[in-house]
Amino acid sequence: MTKARLANQLSFTTFLILSLILITPNTLLTSPAKASPATYNVAISSLTFQTQNLTVLKGDTVIWTNKDPVTHTLWFVRVEDQSTYALSPPIQFGESWSHTFNEATTLHYYSFERLWITGFIRVSLFPIHDVAITDVAPSRMMITAGDSVSINVTAANEGTSAETFNVTAYYGNTILETGIISLDPNSQKRLTFFWDTADVAQGTYDIKAEASVVEGETDTADNSFIDSQVTVALTPTPTPTPSPTLSPSPSPTPSPTPTPSPTPTPSPTPKPMPTPDYTPYLIAIVVIAVVTAVSLIVWKKKTEIKKRQSQK
Ligand SMILES: [Ca+2]
């Protein structure tokens, strides 16, 4: 009897354990640990939707706020068959309108009054991991070696989960720098890289940025972005250096020539001058000599005359 009761108790315990084993996984599967629905804000400003592209989970809510001084009515169209998904009431300046997306679909939407203002919404049943590089912009396109260039890279999280990933900037195939960035879902951020081109060879380089692939990411085509080139020219300093050396060298050659020329000019000028100056002196000497000679002759003749008179 005791053995029978013990056997019954054991079988009941086994039943309980088996039930727990079987029921527990079912309970986990029927109520998956899903994050609470998220809410995203989109401003309608400067006649654009900011942010333009959204990826949300089924059950998430988006709030649009009109910051334009005009009315916007939002018209949502399913991409797969162009059927209308929803139409908002007219949203006046300063007003908001929200919508919770309960259908897993992909939507294109417009401002009904201005169909060229467009946005894009992907509604997913499961979390999406998708990061991207959406822009690469160097500060200058033409530089000389030694210049510094800043490169602005815009990285985005286009998925439904927060992500941390690497962003690497390149010139050509050479890595410039790698940075780490963390982004919330449906957000973007700009990173600035500085490129010192002192040791960079002359040439034209593709400026590129890459986002590392995050876990669970399938759309990797948008993780790399190349849109611009920078041309590095030779340093201008060596070029002008020889040219000034060559140009002044002929100029100094003629300049010393005229410099000595003024020196001889004054020296010959005073030398010929004294020559005519001596002439009157010579003339005076000649005149004095003649006068003296005449006087001597006259004196001699007078002396002879006196001698003769005294002899008489
Ligand atoms: Ca991607």
Give the pLDDT confidence score for residue 60 in this predicted structure: 97
Q: How confident is the model at residue 245 (pLDDT cuts 50, 70, 90)?
A: very low
Average of pLDDT values for 40-48?
97
Give the pLDDT confidence score for residue 95 in this predicted structure: 98
CA of 22 to the centre of ligand 1 (A): 39
CA of 185 to the centre of ligand 1 (A): 13
Give the pLDDT confidence score for residue 293 in this predicted structure: 86
CA of 18 to the centre of ligand 1 (A): 45
Average predicted confidence (pLDDT) for the chain: 82
Q: What percent of the chain has pLDDT over 90?
A: 61
CA of 217 to the centre of ligand 1 (A): 7
Residues 6+ apart with CB under 8 A from 40: 51, 54, 56, 60, 61, 62, 63, 185, 186
CA of 140 to the centre of ligand 1 (A): 28
CA of 156 to the centre of ligand 1 (A): 9
Give the pLDDT confidence score for residue 186 in this predicted structure: 94
β-sheet bridge partners, residue 119: 109
Which ranges constitute the DSSP H helices of the chain? Answer: 2-30, 242-246, 274-311
Question: What length does the chain have?
Answer: 312
CA of 231 to the centre of ligand 1 (A): 29
Give the pLDDT confidence score for residue 227 in this predicted structure: 79
CA of 159 to the centre of ligand 1 (A): 9
Q: What percent of the chain has pLDDT over 70?
A: 74
Residue 44 has pLDDT above 70, yes or no: yes
pLDDT digits (tens, 9 = 90+) for 46-94: 999 999 999 999 999 999 999 999 999 999 999 999 999 999 999 999 9
Residue 261 has pLDDT above 60, yes or no: no
Average of pLDDT values for 234-259?
49
Give the pLDDT confidence score for residue 301 in this predicted structure: 86
CA of 213 to the centre of ligand 1 (A): 7
Instruction: Give the N- to C-terminal CA distance of the chain in Å, as an integer.
Output: 223
CB 142 within 8 A of CB 231: yes
CA of 129 to the centre of ligand 1 (A): 8
CA of 2 to the centre of ligand 1 (A): 68
CA of 226 to the centre of ligand 1 (A): 15
- Name which of 183, 188, 162, 159 is nearest 55 in CA terms: 159
Average of pLDDT values for 115-139?
96
Residues 6+ apart with CB under 8 A from 215: 129
CA of 36 to the centre of ligand 1 (A): 24
- In this structure, of 32-46, 49-63, 221-235, 246-260, the range with the lowest mean pLDDT score is 246-260
Give the pLDDT confidence score for residue 221 in this predicted structure: 96
CA of 82 to the centre of ligand 1 (A): 26
CA of 211 to the centre of ligand 1 (A): 8
* 37, 46, 49, 50, 57 from 43: Cα distances, Å: 20, 9, 6, 5, 20
In angstroms, the CA 66 to CA 75 distance is 15
CA of 98 to the centre of ligand 1 (A): 28
β-sheet bridge partners, residue 63: 41, 98
Give the pLDDT confidence score for residue 27 in this predicted structure: 35
In angstroms, the CA 226 to CA 172 distance is 10
CA of 218 to the centre of ligand 1 (A): 7
In angstroms, the CA 155 to CA 157 distance is 7
Helix (H/G/I), strand (E/B), else coil: 285: helix
The phi, psi pair for 204, rounded to 5°, reads -110, 130
Strands (E), the chain: 39-45, 48-50, 53-57, 61-66, 74-78, 84-87, 96-100, 106-111, 114-124, 131-138, 142-144, 148-157, 163-171, 174-183, 187-196, 203-211, 224-233
